[in-house]
Amino acid sequence: MAEEKPWALISEVGEQGYLEEMADIIKPHFHIISHKDFQQNPQLHGPKIQALLLWNGFPVVEPSLLGLLPSLKVVANGGVGIDHLDVPYINSLGVKVTNTPGVVSNATADIGMALLLASARKVVEGHQVAVDPKTTHIPQCLMGVEVSESTLGIIGMGHIGYKIAQRGKGFDMKILYHNRSRRSVEDEQAVGATYCENMDDLLKESDFVMLAVNLTPETTGLISHRQLSLMKPTATLVNVSRGLVVDQDALVKALQSGTIRAAALDVTYPEPLPRDHPLLGLPNVLITPHVGTNTLTTSLKMVQQMVDNAVAAVKGLTAPNEVKPK
């Protein structure tokens, strides 16, 4: 019966693609072909591929690739953000687009709090002092800022933002949030969150500002010179959304001038940054390489959701997490 399995195009199985454990979830449902092998003979392989499974944005979905896949039924994205996909264009080809909401929320909220804590308490600097062979005493420069009972402002209160609020509550933080729409009274009360209809109010009051929005035309450059100037000089900006949500030139100036205390970023634009980018040389910046969902547990859940979406689409059924154009 193995011959009846449909074909799926993936990036690769290996260090820069799917781990073996992840590929093992795909193989019972699809024959898989790597992008490298596909490129050896696209005319042979292209017509049989019905699913394109994207991991970390690869293979890159371009018209030139889609034109080689006449039988394609679904682009199944691993992750929530689909800013790298032209959904209306893909749909115009009769191809569905799906993503993996929900399963990424805990891990992404965890990395947000990890960045917040590491920046506030100078964890990386402390490690460097602790392992330095020249260290003979603990310098006062490792003095951090208090997290417990501070004010956390969350911009974007969807699945991930709400999980961040739950974690902030555990630190007895005062929770403010700004969102396109207000959460229910029950949701607010459960985490002790206060809605700020005007984002400026949140920026002025928060000790930590956490970005957890989707990248859209409206959120591109959401945080720039004016917004940074409203923040406290003791405040920290944490970004677990997308790099383009922040005007990086404005952020560099704000960090250099002391407009804000620090930034902790899991996302930048581009990724990785050019090695001579000024953000990389600032002592008050902490950067991780977009690892918000990088736990094995979450990655396996994401791949399972991708497979469920792709199998449904290939069978002509309703895909559980189909993305509709706005």
Give the catalytic positions in this structure: 242, 271, 290
Which stretch of DSSP H or E encloses residue 100? none
| Percent of the chain that is helix, strand, coil (3-state, to 5) | 40, 15, 45
Contact 223, 206 (CB under 8 A): no
Rg (CA), the chain: 22
Residues whose CB is less than 8 angstroms from the CB of residue 79 and which lie 6 or more positions away in sequence, other chains included = 99, 100, 104, 293, 302
C-beta atoms surrounding 225 within 10 Å: 13
Cα–Cα distance between 194 and 297 in angstroms, integer?
Answer: 32
- Cα first-last separation, the chain: 40
The residues pairing with 151 across neighbouring beta strands, listed in sequence order, are: 174
Which stretch of DSSP H or E encloses residue 226? helix 225-230
Residue-wise DSSP of 263-295? EEES--SSSSPPTT-GGGG-TTEEE--S-TT-S
Which stretch of DSSP H or E encloses residue 31? strand 31-34
Cα–Cα distance between 139 and 121 in angstroms, integer?
Answer: 14
